[in-house]
Amino acid sequence: MMPSFVKLVVKNYRVGYMDDKLNISFNFIKQLKETILTSRYRVAKIANAESLKLYFAIGKALDKKFKEQKWGAKVLEGISERLQQELPGLRGFSGQNLRKMRMFYQYWNIHNPICSTITSKLENQENSICSSVTGELKKSNIEPVVLNDIETFLSVSFSHHYEIILKIKDESDRWYYINKVAGQFWTVKQLRVELKNKSHLQELKLPNNFQNTLSPELSNKAIRSFKDQYLLDFVNIEDADDEIDEKVLEKEIVLNIKKFLMSLGSDFSFMGNQYRLIVDEDEYFIDLLFFHRGLQSLVVFELKKGKFKPEYVGKMNFYLSALDDLVKQQHENPSIGIIMCKEKDDKKVEYSFRDLNKPMGVSVFKTTKELPDKYKNALPNPEMLKSLLG
């Protein structure tokens, strides 16, 4: 009996032989593959758009009945059961999902040029739809920051939409996440991480020198690839009153590298921690090293347990110079450094970066062990707790 690996070799040989005999080129097969995948993607987009229209229509019908009949929330379970009786095996229309559909309708049934376009599209009122949301915005003089294509809205799944409207009230902020989901193919899990981290508030706030050290196109990409604040809620701190040691923080990040990558965003690949550099026979170790596919750059994260200090910049500048000279490949862009601290003063960061020619930024990290400011005064301090328990 022929071993399986031998069968595979024979099969591949036969395929290759037939390709040569019939003059089938690799590029032709690649072209067919791309055609098939493109078609499947279009079908999936059409199906998703139709699902959104269906859920919007159901949400609208439910909302109307709730207002007319003064229904309570429990009626949705009864409607779900009746639907199951009429359509045995029907999935996706539980009482909870019907509530989500009603919410979906309520949040996007808003009377302004953008949302009215979405509403009419979801309701299939083609005569009311402008050629694009761009046209609507131009007529209403709304700022381009909320310029969004209706097709982008329809390409985002209902599960994503629900997570967004559940957490985000402001319309322009909702569009931020819709565009990110559509453009960067965020999973629902990734979206939840970004929502929890309030990414719409962090983007474009990171103090950096990218515009002075990178090309205009690359600097714009870099600005959008990093955040002013990262939520490290996976970091396990036994005593919340103690300072987080840098080695402990690094260890926790490495142990939870998948979660950290989700916190960073898309396109980051982990290359290692305590990455070793040798300069004139001396060893140096970078805390965390990544590669960003979109930027085509090596990215250094240096971890600091306390407040930002200007002297951190000199060390980072040294690391970036060494990486560019010893590690960076010829086709790659300059290495980028991010100093991650517990706290920072933007003015000190600005002065520290002013005359440097290596691209870097400073961000802060937060953990769930930290109490929000509004709760800090509501609880007794450690000394008072000890006296009460003593």
Per the structure, the complete domain to which residue 51 belongs is given by 41-200
268 & 175 share domain:
no
Residues 6 or more apart in contact with residue 161 via CB below 8 angstroms? 52, 104, 178
CA-wise closest residue to 353 among 235, 207, 215 = 207
pLDDT at 298: 97
Say whether pLDDT at 148 is over 70.
no
231 & 157 share domain:
no
Angle, CA of 225, 346 and 240, to the nearest 5°: 85
- Final residue of a structural domain among 150, 168, 200: 200
Average pLDDT over residues 292-320: 95
Which position has the higher pLDDT, 385 or 263?
A: 263
pLDDT per residue as tens digits for the range 33-50? 889 988 888 888 889 989
**Sequential DSSP letters for 147-209:** ---HHHHHHS-HHHHHHHHHH--SHHHHHHHHHHHHHHT--HHHHHHHHHTTHHHHTTTS-B-
pLDDT at 171: 84
Query: Is 295 inside any structural domain?
Result: yes
Say whether pLDDT at 310 is over 90.
yes
Say whether pLDDT at 7 is over 60.
no
Which position has the higher pLDDT, 125 or 336?
A: 336
Model confidence at 20, in pLDDT bands (50, 70, 90)?
A: low
Write the CATH number for 283.
3.40.1350.10
Instruction: Report the C-alpha gap between 234 and 197 in whole angstroms.
Output: 13
192 & 217 share domain:
no
pLDDT per residue as tens digits for the range 218-273? 998 998 899 999 988 888 755 444 456 788 889 999 999 999 998 898 889 999 99
pLDDT per residue as tens digits for the range 171-212? 888 988 998 898 888 899 989 988 988 888 876 678 999 999
pLDDT at 197: 82
How many folded domains does the chain comprise? 2
182 & 231 share domain:
no
Query: Is 30 inside any structural domain?
Result: no
Helix spans in 70-124 (H) = 75-86, 95-108, 113-122
